[in-house]
Structure 1
Amino acid sequence: MLDRLNEAMDHIERHIAADIDIEVLARIAHTSPYHFRRMFATLAGIPLSEYVRRRRLTLAAGEVLAERRSLLDVAVTYGYGSGETFARAFRAVHGVGPAEARRSGVALTSQPRMTFHLTVEGSTPMEFRIVDKAEFRLLGYRTEVPIVHEGHNEAIAEFTASIGTERLARLKPLSDQEPEGIVSAVEPLDGSQRSEGSLAEFLQGVVSSATAPDGVAERVVPAGTWAVFRSEGEPPEAAQYIWRDVFGQWFPSNAYRSVPGPEILSAQPTGDGTRMNYELWLPVEHTG
């Protein structure tokens, strides 16, 4: 998978001045456009569109500084229809306009070309199972939160506190299937972006076959296949590392890809309560 992903990166580099077709990239990587965007954002830390924009303007900056062509010629070469739109995009990345950069020789920002490599870590296998699950409902309380890859998520903490233990306790008896008990579910709002700070829908509640009581949100989830991963550790990093390892290691080496849908996390305290047992449910499909 990583070899095919790097072939897609080569394609981006060869066509950086043109429109990049996500369908073509997905075919090169032997996956879906959704999964390609999702995996790229997770591995690279920025959305694909932002990487392409930064690379395009990095190469454009080299031509601006070389002073061999007019600024308008450089703008047109890299897909900008006018000098004004090129100047705005250039300033957004480099902090100065192209004319100013050419005059003063100020320091500009460079986006290196990305390649992906597999890093082998430790000797502990990743525990997972594949589950075919009938249609179910997520019942609970929901809001929008920014994605935080590592460390405390203040928005989630504040929202969870605002729900209160009593309201969650009233929902718990409606939990009638896996994953059991109170769970949280997240779903990036643009369907594929996973960059730091991008928005996701967050729901805290239960997985159930019942309909939602008054005042409780309901999300009907269609039947499908789920990859289920287990981990134990200190919150919140242990939970966040599951996502990192699944997208960075498991997907590239297994014949599955992610599909749109909620990502459900069950967290149960263990021992003295300083550590948690986590179970992460991700909607997937087989690539075979």
Structure 2
Amino acid sequence: MDWVKHLNEVINYIEKNLTDEISYDLISKIAGCSVYNFQRMFSYIADKPLSEYIRYRRLTMAAFDLLNSSDRIIDIALKYGYESQDAFSRAFKNFHGVLPSSVRTGIVQLKSCPKLSFQISIRGENQMNYQVEQWPAFKVMGILNSISTSTAFEDVPSIWENAWKDGTMKRFIENFPDYRPAGFLGIAVGGKWGNSEEMDYIIAVTSHVDVPECKHAPVLEGMTEFSYPSATWVVINADGELPKAVQDIYREFYSEWLPNSGYKLANLPVIECYLQENRQELWIAVEVD
């Protein structure tokens, strides 16, 4: 799958529809993967969520309209999808640092978010240790937490901290059978990476793997079991200090490994496996293109 081509086609689609509704479902079709997976990939390659990129591009073009046209501010606001002039003015000031009205009354400094263009980067700076495995269906047991998408990066560390305090992690340690995916699992589900107000985050351990010799661990009281189908997984070593070690691997995987691999992303959540002493694994499901 030509990831670079598909990424640039998505960017072109966004560019043509900055003044219209942008369909995340259509973006998914252009990209050839789920909305969830595309937005995860985009956020690591572009260093910003897709929703933020779209908002910044609209505010960039709105500034050009203010400079180069005599259109009313309310008309420009409506043009770029804002329901009121007040909402547009707040967003404009948050991005540019000035109110839209001041653009026409004096010399002001404005920001610009340029249109992105993607190219394959093969730097070879770091060696990514991975293996591609066909893994049978498996189940995990754990606790699902519904959190706000906008505060996910702040909420997730608190979820882990609370799990240690309230005894959840102790129960895992005393009862889990140490199946693969191994260690304590962090699984983010839904949220559309900024295009939904809520998402789910699961803290879990593997409770069963669908092979004859595997005994199904009983689900602990107060926990829920979640099932995942047989799939091909890229299992990547992400050892090192958190969160940098995991973030660096995500960026390398999406920007370098995946575009050159001949695989496309499968519609399954990414699983982060936390072992001991700064040892981590990432399980990312893929399909042959």
**Fold match (TM-score > 0.5):** yes
Correspondence for 1:61: 63
* 1:248 equivalent among 244, 255, 260: 255
> Within 2, Cα distance between the matches of 1:42 and 1:104?
38
Report the Cα distance in structure 2 between the residues aligned to 1:108 and 1:124, rounded to whole angstroms. Answer: 40
Match of 1:272 in 2: none
| Contact 2:146–2:200 (Cα < 8 Å) also in 1 | yes
Matches of 1:245 and 1:97 in 2, distance apart? 38
1:45 to 31, 44, 47: 47
- Pairwise CA distance, 1:39: 1.6
Taking structure 1 as reference, are residues 25 and 241 closer, same or farther at Cα in structure 2, changes over 3 Å only?
same
Alpha-carbon contact 1:231-1:238 (below 8 Å) kept: no
Match of 1:170 among 174, 177, 185: 174
* 1:230-255 superposed Cα distances (whole Å, 9 cap, x missing partner): 32632223333332322222332332
Flag the 1:64–1:140 CA change in 2: closer, same or farther, 3 A: same
Question: Please, what TM-score do these two structures have when normalized by structure 1?
Answer: 0.77
CA distance in 2, matches of 1:178, 1:282: 14
Mapping for residues 207-222 of structure 1, pairs under 5 Å? 207-208=207-208, 209-215=216-222, 217-222=223-228
Measured against aligned partners, the alpha-carbon deviations of 1:87-122 in whole angstroms (never above 9, x if no partner) come to 343234334332133223332332222222322223
Amino acid at match of 1:10: N
Separation in 2, partners of 1:123, 1:91 = 40
Which range is displaced more, 88-97 or 105-114? 88-97
What is the match of residue 184 of structure 2? Answer: 183
| AA in 1 matched with 2:64 | G
Partner SS for 1:203: strand
Aligned to 2:285: 283
Q: Which amino acid aligns with 1:2?
A: V
Match of 1:127 among 126, 130, 134: 130
- Asked if the contact 2:18/2:57 (under 8 Å) is kept, the reply is yes
Percent identity over the alignment is 26
The residue identity in structure 2 corresponding to 1:87 is: S
* Shift in CA distance, 167/34, structure 1 to aligned 2, threshold 3 Å: closer
Q: Give 5+ residue unaligned stretches, structure 2.
A: 209-215
Q: Distance in 1 between matches of 2:130 and 2:232?
A: 14
CA 74–221 in structure 1, closer or farther in 2 if over 3 Å, else same: same
Trace 1:47-126 onto structure 2 (pairs within 5 A): 47-120=49-122, 121-122=124-125, 124=127, 126=129
> CA 1:251–1:100 in 2, change beyond 3 Å: closer, same or farther?
same
Partner in structure 2 of residue 229 of structure 1: 235
Deviations along 1:183-213, one digit per CA (max 9) or x if unpaired, are 22221450x3189xx9761414344333312
Shift of 1:10: 1.9
